[in-house]
Structure 1
Amino acid sequence: MYRLAHHVSTVETDYGVVLLDEKRGVYFTLNPSGALVLKSMLATGDLDSAVGALLAEFAVERAIAEADANGVVADLLAAGVLVSADG
């Protein structure tokens, strides 16, 4: 499972989600597909669920959905915005 880092706040917008890293004063903007990946990862912690959510919501091929989901998760983990719920 994953969670947002304690120092991260979120706001939903008409075009996705904005995340604020309050510790560093850095904003991250997720478009609707990125927001869907984040919500799915926070709810299930399962990348396959995030891919399934993208496939259900958008007309994309599985390979593209997998690449997009992997990219969003990797970027958020690298930025320290998304963290393991165990850690």
Structure 2
Amino acid sequence: MKLASHITLKEVGEGAIIFDSRRGGYLQLNPTAYFVLRHTLNGLEPEHVATQLTEEFDVDARTALTDVTGCLATFEKHKWLRSEDS
């Protein structure tokens, strides 16, 4: 996955800010959401991102997977990501 062409990402502290030029707005990502985004952009599948999340944060596997799928649903809803071949 890649960031969509209308998305700019800026790391800020432990989180990040996303600027969506299509919508003309900013959104702040908390450390968990930024973690999920980074690992997804690095090619990890959701289950692997969740495993990494349990190792990085004090969270159980079930909660981690719920957080990952929730983040990915938000990313998809806002069309922040695109496939490598598009």
Question: Do the structures match in fold with TM over 0.5?
Answer: yes
Q: Percent identity?
A: 30
Task: Output the CA distance in 1 between the equivalents of 2:48 and 2:55.
Answer: 10
Runs ≥4 in structure 1, deviation > 4 angstroms?
none
Q: TM-score scaled to structure 1, two decimals?
A: 0.90
Flag structure 1 segments of 5+ consecutive residues without an equivalent: none
Q: Which amino acid aligns with 1:33?
A: T
Q: How far apart are residue 86 of structure 1 and its match?
A: 3.1
Q: Which amino acid aligns with 1:9?
A: T
Q: How far apart are residue 36 of structure 1 and its match?
A: 0.5
Task: Give the number of equivalent residue pairs.
Answer: 86
Task: Output the CA distance in 1 between the equivalents of 2:36 and 2:20.
Answer: 18
User: Alignment partner of 1:10: what SS?
Assistant: strand
Task: Output the CA distance in 1 between the equivalents of 2:50 and 2:44.
Answer: 12
Q: What value does the CA root-mean-square deviation take over the aligned residues?
A: 1.2
Q: How far apart are residue 44 of structure 1 and its match?
A: 1.4
Q: How far apart are residue 7 of structure 1 and its match?
A: 0.9
Q: Deviations over 1:54-74 (max 9, x none)?
A: 111111111100000000011
Contact 1:36 1:53 (8 Å CA) reproduced: no
